[in-house]
Amino acid sequence: MSEAQNLDNKNQLDTATEAGISRLTPEKIKKVVDCVIKRETGVRFETYMQTCIHCGLCSEACHFYLSHDNDPHYSPAGKIKQTIWELIKRKGNVDRDFIRRAVRIAHTECNLCKRCALYCPFGIDIAYMMLVMRRILHKLAVTPLYIQDTAHSHSVTMNQMWVKGDEWVDTVQWQEEEAQDEIYNLRIPLEKHGSEIMYSVIAPEPKFQAQLIYQAAIIMNTAGIDWTMPAGVGWDNSDMAMYTGDNEIMGRVKRAHFEAASRLKVKKIVMGECGHAYRSVADMGNRWLGWSMPPVPVVHAIEFYYDLLKSGKIKIAKKYEKPVTLHDPCNVVRGAGLHEKARYVANQLCDKVVEMIPNREHNYCCGAGGGVINCGPAFKLSRTEGNSVKAEQLFNAKSRGAMTLIAPCHNCHSGLHDIVHHYEVGLELKFFSDIIYECMEKPEDK
CB of 157 to another protein, least distance (A): 6
The DSSP H or E segment spanning 270 is strand 268-271
CB of 296 to another protein, least distance (A): 8
Nearer to another protein, 50 or 292 (CB): 292
Nearer to another protein, 146 or 379 (CB): 146
Nearer to another protein, 135 or 327 (CB): 135
Residues that bind another protein (CB under 8 A): 1-2, 16, 19, 39-40, 138-139, 141, 145-146, 148-149, 152-153, 155-157, 162, 164-166, 169-170, 173, 177, 180, 184-185, 187, 189-192, 194, 231-233, 246, 248, 251-252, 255, 262, 265, 267, 287, 289-293, 295-297
* Cβ neighbour number for residue 290 with a 10 Å cutoff: 8
CB of 264 to another protein, least distance (A): 11
DSSP label of 406: E
Rounded Cα gap, residues 399 and 75, in angstroms: 29
How many alpha carbons lie under 13 Å from residue 273 in its C-beta half-sphere? 28
Nearer to another protein, 166 or 424 (CB): 166
CB of 378 to another protein, least distance (A): 12
Nearer to another protein, 171 or 396 (CB): 171
Q: How far is CA 294 from the centre of its chain?
A: 18
CB of 130 to another protein, least distance (A): 20
CB of 376 to another protein, least distance (A): 9
Nearer to another protein, 177 or 351 (CB): 177
Amino acid at position 134, single letter: R
Nearer to another protein, 18 or 361 (CB): 18
Rounded Cα gap, residues 245 and 251, in angstroms: 11
Rounded Cα gap, residues 207 and 235, in angstroms: 13
Nearer to another protein, 210 or 289 (CB): 289
Rounded Cα gap, residues 417 and 208, in angstroms: 15
* Cβ neighbour number for residue 354 with a 10 Å cutoff: 20
CB of 199 to another protein, least distance (A): 16
233: left (phi over 0), alpha (psi -120 to 50) or beta: beta
Burial 311-340 (b: 16+ CB within 10 A, else e): eeebbbeeebeebbbbbbbbbbbbbbebbe
Alpha helices in 14-144 (DSSP H): 15-22, 26-40, 43-51, 63-67, 76-82, 84-89, 96-108, 115-119, 126-139
Nearer to another protein, 191 or 307 (CB): 191
Rounded Cα gap, residues 344 and 348, in angstroms: 6
CB of 262 to another protein, least distance (A): 5
Nearer to another protein, 43 or 69 (CB): 43
Q: What are phi and psi of 316, to 5 degrees?
A: -95, 120
Nearer to another protein, 40 or 86 (CB): 40
CB of 352 to another protein, least distance (A): 39
CB of 304 to another protein, least distance (A): 18
Computed from CA positions of residues 346, 338, 413, 395, in that sequence, does the dihedral angle turn out positive or negative? negative
Would you call 231 exposed, middle or buried from its count of C-beta atoms within 10 A (0-12, 13-18, 19+)? middle
CB of 289 to another protein, least distance (A): 6
CB of 319 to another protein, least distance (A): 32
Q: How far is CA 421 from the centre of its chain?
A: 20
Nearer to another protein, 20 or 76 (CB): 20
Q: State the SS3 of 216-262.
A: HHHHHHHHCCCEEECCCCCCECCCCHHHHCCHHHHHHHHHHHHHHHH
The answer for residues whose C-beta is within 8 angstroms of residue 35's C-beta and 6 or more apart is: 139
Determine contact, residues 145/379, Cβ cutoff 8 Å. no
